[in-house]
Amino acid sequence: MKKIAVLGRGKSLESLSSLPEVDAYVITNNWGLELNQQFIMDRFSDNKPIIHVLSLSIFNAPGMGFDELLKHYKKFNIQKIILPYVSECVPGGEQSYFEVEGKNNIIKAEPLPDEVKSFMWQPGRGNCPKNYTGKKYDLPTTGMAGVLYATAVMNPTEVYICGMDFYEKTYAFQTKREEERNKIDSNGIMTVSEFEKIPMKIFLTENIIGKFPDKKFFINTYGDYKPNKDNVEVNTL
């Protein structure tokens, strides 16, 4: 594949129409509300393959809209569900590889392949944050798992990213539970800690963009992101 679009849930997702035609899409986390939006339905009417990278946390949070999400698997050309963990780090092990009814077949969730391990955080090694006590192999967010999967596994020449604002803007669309949980300041910026923002930027820059100098990245974002790499163009909205 030559061009892949990785789509998060941040406000910059609204810039989707500015992206060129691509060969496939990767959508990240709960897209129950997003797939109801007309501009997204119009975009996905091209019937290009869609990969859904989805955290298991959706099952542990009532009100996150998984029931809404289920109906979309029958409507859109979603071909795979990828969990943001390598097999040895999947919470619950193989019992967590749930199945859903897709448009043309049954889709069984699967882990990230082992080939991405060398790009992931490992406690005490590389640029993994100090005092990090997470999994043996990990990433800062599901969004980053989506970018990594698109880049390392799908192997495009160009990666287009929108909807990833590093928690510096609201989600484009929020469930009621998210509206209650996410604190927003007067400028519409999510008030999360720098510990949550900065590792995402470091991981994207050093563990993905910097590791694939032969690939070109194009990013639409409301976030303050300056990667200082020759193979990336950032359009700050």
pLDDT tier at 183 (50, 70, 90 boundaries)? low
Report whether pLDDT(184) > 70.
no
Q: Which two tokens stand for residue 101?
A: 């009814």
Segment 191-205 shows an average pLDDT of 74
Measured between its terminal Cα atoms, the distance across the chain in Å is 28
CATH assignment of the domain containing 50: 3.90.1480
34, 173 in Cβ contact below 8 A? yes
Tokens 């406000």 sit on residue: 11
Which DSSP state fits 41? Answer: H
Q: What is the DSSP string of 9-39?
A: SBGGGGGGGGSPP-SEEEEES--TTGGGSHH
pLDDT per residue as tens digits for the range 17-53: 999 999 999 999 989 889 999 999 999 999 999 999 9
| Average predicted confidence (pLDDT) for the chain | 89
- Per-residue pLDDT band at 185 (split at 50, 70, 90): low
pLDDT band, very low/low/confident/very high, at 63 (cuts 50, 70, 90): low
Domain around 83? 3-236
What's the structural domain count of the chain? 1
- The predicted pLDDT at position 107 comes to 96
Instruction: Report the pLDDT value the prediction gives residue 53, as an integer from 0 to 100.
Output: 97
Is the pLDDT at 4 greater than 60? The verdict is yes
Query: For residue 42, what are the contacts with CB-CB under 8 A and spacing of at least 6?
Result: none
Whether 177 has a pLDDT exceeding 80, the answer reads no
Q: How far is CA 215 from CA 49, 113, 160, in A?
A: 20, 20, 11
Note the pTM of the prediction, 2 decimals: 0.91
What are the residue ranges of helices labelled H in the chain? Answer: 38-44, 66-72, 142-148, 176-181, 194-202
